[in-house]
A and B are shown apart, each in its own frame.
Chain A
Amino acid sequence: MKNGKFESALGTINIVLLCTISLVTLIPLYYVLALSFTDPTEYLVKGGQLLFPDKLSLASYKYLLSTATFKNATFVSIGISLIGTLVSLAVTSTLAYGLSRKRLLGRKIMLRIILFTLLFNPGIIPNYILVKDLHLINNYAALILPVLTSGWYVILMKSFFDNIPPELEEAAMLEGCTDITVFTKIVLPLSLASIAAFGLFYAVSYWNSFFNAVLYINDPKKWTLQVLLRNMIIDSSTSTAGGAVSMESAETPPAETLKMAAVILATIPILIVYPFLQKHFDKGVMLGSVKG
């Protein structure tokens, strides 16, 4: 009896805390949203301190959407994200699964090498030269291939696969399944949660791809959305060009409202996709039933 009351009290405290945290998170987010719909002059006058703009203004959004290349950039980003995520998931999960099976010879060496590549970074020049030698400069593949598999995710995904009991595998192999079948028909359906999670991570990182696009893509028609948006909202304080830009700026530095609108625009697709993935990591798995 005591247990029950105590537990339900804890449960309530839990909910209260979570609500508070959500609120603390929401308020600044709301501020960003509000600013994105604020008229730049009103923003200046109020010194950025406002919660409800006097008049809603779509000026920032109109400006951002006015570029000829906006549609292009959106398609490029969507395309890269879709294809990139699918291929990345495929390569990452297969590698991670293989590494989780102890009978793979050279497993330890591979893991150590992957870890090594995670820790040591040779810099942009060797990577650029490699992409150039592969004739991928200005090619969409340059936005996918060099970042195809993240060592971080391989290692993490492997730890997820480590949890899958070997009895399942053995049972399937006895019935004549190959590793590939075991992987696709048994392991993957059990791992929907981690696939959803890493799929989301990859999708977001492809969607946000910026620096590689600047380095490897020369044709503005092939720019990603992030490159386009950031070009419009850079200013001396945040760009690494620093002094040079501020000394000689013949164009208007972007209003804070513009930066907020850019963030909202760039985030919308993720917001749309997220709920579909979320349902995968909130329900439990019945391993027992699979055994049958």
Chain B
Amino acid sequence: MHLSTAYQQKDVNTLIDYNTKKKKKIFTSIKQNIFLYLLVLPGVLYFLLFKIIPMWGVLISFQNYSPYTGLMHSEWVGLQNFKELFANSDFVLIFRNTMAISLLNLVFYFPVPIILSLMLNEVTNRRFKNTIQSIVYLPHFLSWVIITGLTFVLFSQSNGLINNLLVSMGFEKYNFLTNPKVFWPILTFQAIWKDAGWGTIIYLAALSGIDVQQYESARMDGASKIQQMWHITLPGLRNVIITLLILRIGHIMDVGFEQVFLMQNSAVSQVSDVFETYVYRVGVQNGRFSYSTAVGVFKSAIGLILVIVTNNIAKKCGEEGVY
């Protein structure tokens, strides 16, 4: 009895000792790095105030929320909103369309800015390189309204430029805009045209951070341009690419409302309904706050799972990952 109590006492002491040591450690660490903490303070405050505090809005997806009754007094309905979403006969269709458009984007759009910036990087004449880059980033500033308008002028069946061309070459007119088969590719192509050039900016910034001397020494060792690209350039871009990839995957359920809304029409309805347009139709128009938030929460949850998975994969491959 006496012995065990003695042991227990020792354990407790060790525990107290450990806790105080840990607290001391934290305290010293903060003191040592006080300036670092000061540096991050403004940013942390911003996130706390403007991002964390409004997060209560996510809770309304579990309620039958009315802004008039308020968060505290609105009726809690648990998973009812989510159940309603899954019960919708078109849920699978909407999910498929969203994923399809997003995946096409990921596979075809994502690499383009990277390739483009590598190509630009290889150009030795700086003026030429800058001019080209200044041209390709411009479409970013055109709104989707204009881009869909341009698409119409090009691809319209009655009088579009491309169809006129086809007819003059002896082919038949093609219904680009009302054919479900080409709807997704057209969206992808629009996205590439609009944002690939803009996307090169971040990669060019990353490329300029690569130590020029590495290229020097590589050249002196007899490496070819291709070898240089593979062993110096790409690794230099690696962590930016991976970070962007993970973030992009986290947003895989976000397809961009305006583009799809403007391009969709009844003839391609089965491939053009995505979560954003669904929510707009069912939620926003009638002020169904809880339901539209629930759909958003569902999308975000999927994104979160994917981010965790991809981040872990990245880490296992020895990369830094996002967190």
Contact = CB atoms under 8 A, between A and B. Distances in A.
Do A and B truly interact? Answer: yes
Nearest to B306: A119
Interface of A: 3, 7, 10-11, 14-15, 17-19, 21-22, 24-26, 28-29, 31-32, 47-49, 90-92, 94-99, 101, 103-105, 108, 110-123, 125-127, 129-130, 145-146, 148-149, 151-152, 154-156, 159-160, 162-163, 178-180, 183, 190-191, 193-194, 196-197, 200-201, 204, 238, 240, 256, 259-260, 263, 266-267, 270-271, 274-275, 278-288
Give 8 closest A-B pairs by Cβ, nearest first: A122-B57, A95-B43, A98-B40, A126-B57, A179-B35, A126-B54, A284-B212, A111-B323
B208 A284 contact: yes
A119 B205 contact: no
B134 interface: yes
A130 B44 contact: no
Given A25-B197, A121-B296, A267-B141, 17 more contacts: A18-B132, A25-B139, A95-B43, A98-B36, A98-B43, A112-B323, A120-B296, A122-B55, A122-B56, A122-B293, A123-B296, A130-B49, A194-B209, A271-B138, A279-B130, A280-B205, A282-B130
A119 B304 contact: yes
B118 to A, nearest CB: 9
Contact of A115 (B215, B240, B323): B323
Interface in B81-107: none
A25 to B, nearest CB: 5
Contacts of B128: 15
A118 B247 contact: yes
Nearest to B133: A278
A149 B304 contact: no
B41 to A, nearest CB: 8
B171 interface: no
Contacts of B130: 275, 278-279, 282
A148 B58 contact: no
A193 to B, nearest CB: 4
B151 to A, nearest CB: 10
Contacts of B146: 32, 259-260, 263
B209 A32 contact: no
Given A103-B29, A275-B134, A117 B47 contact: yes
Contacts of B187: none
Interface of A is mostly: helix
B42 A94 contact: yes
Given A159-B239, A162-B320, A266-B141, A179 B39 contact: yes
Given A32-B142, A197-B201, A180 B44 contact: no
A130 B146 CA distance: 34
Given A14-B122, A115-B307, A278-B134, A120 B145 contact: no
A156 B250 contact: no
B201 A281 contact: yes
Contact of B211 (A99, A145, A286): A286
Interface of B is mostly: helix
Contacts of B126: 282
A127 B79 CA distance: 24
Contacts of B139: 25, 28-29
A148 B205 CA distance: 22
A94 B323 contact: no
B33 A281 contact: no
Interface string B141-159: 1110110011001000001
B125 to A, nearest CB: 9
A196 B208 CA distance: 12
Contact of A92 (B43, B211, B284): B43
Interface centre among B129, B149, B304 (most CB of A within 10 A): B149
10 contacts: A98-B43, A120-B297, A156-B247, A179-B36, A180-B35, A194-B206, A270-B141, A280-B208, A281-B205, A282-B129
Given A18-B120, A238-B262, A123 B55 contact: no
A271 to B, nearest CB: 8
Nearest to A196: B205
A105 B247 contact: no
A127 B54 contact: yes
Contacts of A31: 150, 153
B138 A29 contact: yes
B322 A111 contact: yes
A29 to B, nearest CB: 6
B47 A281 contact: no
B26 interface: yes
Contacts of B197: 25
A124 B213 CA distance: 50
Contact of B208 (A48, A146, A149, A283): A283
B51 interface: yes
B218 interface: no
Contact of B40 (A94, A197, A260, A284): A94
Interface in B201-260: 201-202, 204-213, 215, 224-226, 236, 239-240, 243-244, 247, 250-251
Interface string B310-321: 000000000010
Contacts of A160: 205-206, 209, 240
Contacts of A284: 208, 210-212, 215
Contacts of A197: 201-202, 204-205
B259 to A, nearest CB: 12
B202 A123 contact: no
Contacts of A266: 141
Interface centre among B29, B30, B36 (most CB of A within 10 A): B36
